[in-house]
Amino acid sequence: MIGIEVDNRSGVEVDEAAACELARRVLAGEGVGEGELGIAFVGPDESRALKKEHLGIDDATDALAFPIDSRDELPEGLPRQLGDVVVCPQVVGDEWRSPLVHALLHLLGYDHGPEMEAQEGLYL
């Protein structure tokens, strides 16, 4: 089972249940059946600060991924901590689903390119 903790501090309403359902569908489609995931919806100022702190780019962004265990082999009995994704709905409006899928695939080790784009298309 995938445990998901959602934190909406964006200041706008987001369908958190739909975000969890989409995340579970993506993870199941990628063969991840167990683990813990954090999803945070943030405002543009927090998005910008996180991107600057972690990527050195001073610009608000639609989504960021902070992987922890990804698909790494873990000792038996140790729960998988997938990591956190951060989505800024104000940057993308009602189209937060695509950036969420994008960030989830980054958590699982995908890099930008044709393979990632093909996988994104499976879930949107």
pLDDT of 69 > 80? The answer is no
Tens digit of pLDDT for each residue in 72-114? Answer: 777 887 787 899 999 999 998 888 999 999 999 999 999 888 8
Domain layout of the chain by residue ranges: 7-123
3-state SS, residue 55 = helix
Q: pTM of the entire structure? A: 0.90
In which band, very low, low, confident or very high, does the pLDDT at 34 lie, cut at 50, 70 and 90? confident
* Tokens 């951060």 -> residue: 86
CB 47 within 8 A of CB 59: no
Q: Which residue has the higher pLDDT, 103 or 122?
A: 103
* Res 50 pLDDT > 80: yes
Residue 70 reports pLDDT greater than 80? no
Alpha-carbon distance 40 to 43, whole Å? Answer: 10
Average pLDDT score, the chain: 91
Which residue in 31, 46, 35, 53 sits closest to 91, CA to CA? 46
Q: Per CATH, which fold does 7-123 belong to? A: Collagenase (Catalytic Domain) (3.40.390)
